[in-house]
Amino acid sequence: MSNILDTKNINILNLAKEVFVIEAQSITNLIKRLGEPFEEAINLLYSCKGRVIVTGMGKSGLIGKKIAATFSSTGTPSYFLHPAESTHGDSGVITKEDIVLAISNSGETSELLQLLPLIKRFGVKMIAMTGKLNSTLAQKSDVTLDISVEREACPLNLAPTASTTATLAMGDALAVCLLEKRGFSAEDFLLFHPSGKLGKGFFWKVEDLMTKEENLPVVSMETNFREAIQEITAKKLGVTIVVDERGLLKGLLTDGDIRRALQKYNEISGLKVKDVMTMGAKIIEKDAFAAQALQIMEKYSITSLVILKTDGTPEGILHIHNLLKAGVA
């Protein structure tokens, strides 16, 4: 029984490997087709004043949805239009400022071809992604991108497999080139993804999250140690800023400093903050992103950053708890 099962597993693995080889080749073959049509497509998409309307039926439509989503998240406003629904009112989303990206491996998808009169009537430019360069869709388009494959990965050579992989790769190439052409940065990308921790790190700025004014824990270097502990307890941050007689930042007094002082001194009544504090503190600008603050905290294994006014006096403090509440850390 085990030998039979092993043979079946080997056949399955060989088939899976063949699928990978065929689909990988479908992408590799796209490289030699890159040229003027691709550059024209990029220039059209880059100059679009409206949105990129992506449309396609069936598996091409599913790939089209992903391409539209990738465009939108990388700085190219995009919308997926279902061609079958377009003839029942949804085509109203197309404006004269838009560009249509139509996907059909055969280039003869009837629902897609029914959109052509409307597209031409509006004078909207159209880019076709098709595997048939002599198809109706290719002939009616302003630019045609060749996504043809030698064969599908399906053993019957019927189910869209290698062709959809090639289509997806071509869409990704368009999106990445547009991203680069627009100078789209990592910060831009994360601003479009505010739900994740990284995105929130670039959604919030330090000023939005820092503790300031009446809730800001501050003591002087000459403050009695017990009074400083009361300040830390009252402000509930586990730390207080320490300033000199001019109100300028000199350092911090943290929970760790307090524990070390209690271990070192039998009598604390005569202690002052300057006797037990940590000299110096890491600072950050209030218009910095929260992600930058988190990076500094992680680099130096600290939990607080101080924000200063232009005159060097404290304006706020950002604690790791502020970042946790905002979902950044």
Q: 3-class DSSP state for residue 95?
A: coil
From 118, 153, 184, give the residue that closes a domain.
184
User: Could you give the number of structural domains in the chain?
Assistant: 2
Note whether residue 232 is domain-resident: yes
Q: What is the CATH number of the domain that holds 270?
A: 3.10.580.10
Q: Write down the mean pLDDT value for the chain.
A: 86
Q: Where is the domain boundary, 184, 212, 236?
A: 184
Average pLDDT over residues 142-147: 96
Beta-sheet strand order (sheet of 278-279): 218-220, 239-243, 249-254, 278-279
Claim to verify: residue 161 and residue 252 sit in the same structural domain: no
Q: What is the pLDDT of residue 231?
A: 92
Whose structure tokens read 């501050």?
A: 218
Nearest by Cα to 51 from 79, 74, 70, 86? 79
Higher pLDDT, 168 or 237: 168
In a domain, 252, yes or no: yes
29 and 163, same domain (yes or no): yes
Do 145 and 174 reside in the same domain of the chain? yes
Co-location of 151 and 215 in the same domain? no
Q: Domain span at residue 125?
A: 2-184
Query: How far apart (Å, rounded) are the C-alpha atoms in residues 61 and 90?
Result: 15
CA dist 248 → 100, 148, 281, 319 (Å): 60, 69, 12, 20
Query: What pLDDT, on the 0 to 100 scale, is given for residue 45?
Result: 95
pLDDT value at residue 292: 85
| pLDDT of 192 above 70 | no
Distance CA 46, CA 143 (A): 14
Q: Which residue would you say has higher pLDDT here, 150 or 156? A: 150
pLDDT band at 327 (very low <50, low <70, confident <90, very high): confident
Q: d(Cα 291, Cα 46) in Å, to the nearest integer?
A: 30
Q: Residue 189 domain-assigned?
A: no
pLDDT of residue 191: 56
- In terms of domains, do 146 and 92 share one? yes
pLDDT tens digit sequence for 46-56: 999 999 999 99
Choice among 62-71, 92-101, 121-130, 271-280 with the minimum mean pLDDT: 92-101
Whether the per-residue pLDDT at 290 is higher than 90: the answer is no
Contact 319, 293 (CB under 8 A): no
Q: Name 317's bridge partners.
A: 211, 306
Calculate what percentage of the chain has a pLDDT beyond 90.
54
Angle between helix 58-73 and 162-182 (nearest 10): 20
Residue at a domain's end among 184, 211, 230: 184
Whether residue 155 sits in one domain with residue 287:
no
Q: Are residues 144 and 15 both part of a single domain?
A: yes
What is the mean pLDDT of the segment spanning 158-162?
Answer: 88
- Asked whether 247 and 313 are in contact (CB, 8 A), the reply is yes
- Partners of 220 in beta bridges: 243
- Does position 137 have pLDDT exceeding 50, yes or no? yes
**CA 160/CA 174 separation, integer angstroms:** 21
**Residue 20 shares a structural domain with residue 154:** yes
| Residue 90 and residue 172 in one domain | yes
Q: Residue 5's pLDDT is what?
A: 46
| Mean pLDDT for the stretch of residues 115-126 | 86
Q: In terms of pTM, does the model score above 0.75?
A: no
**13-27, 29-43, 152-166, 192-206, range with the lowest pLDDT:** 192-206
Query: Does residue 44 form part of some domain?
Result: yes
Query: In this structure, is residue 194 part of a structural domain?
Result: no
Per-residue model confidence as pLDDT tens digits over 52-68: 999 999 999 999 999 99
147 and 7 within one domain: yes
Answer whether residue 92 shows pLDDT above 80: no
Residue 79 lies in a domain: yes
Q: What is the full DSSP assignment across 97-110?
A: T-EEEEE-SSS--H
Which carries the bigger pLDDT value, residue 57 or residue 4?
57
Q: Are residues 179 and 274 in the same domain?
A: no
81 and 13 share a domain?
yes
pLDDT bracket for residue 190 (50, 70, 90) = low
Task: Assign 174 a pLDDT band (cuts: 50, 70, 90).
Answer: very high
Nearest Cα neighbor of 190 from 45, 279, 326, 73 is 73
Answer whether residue 196 is part of any domain.
Answer: no
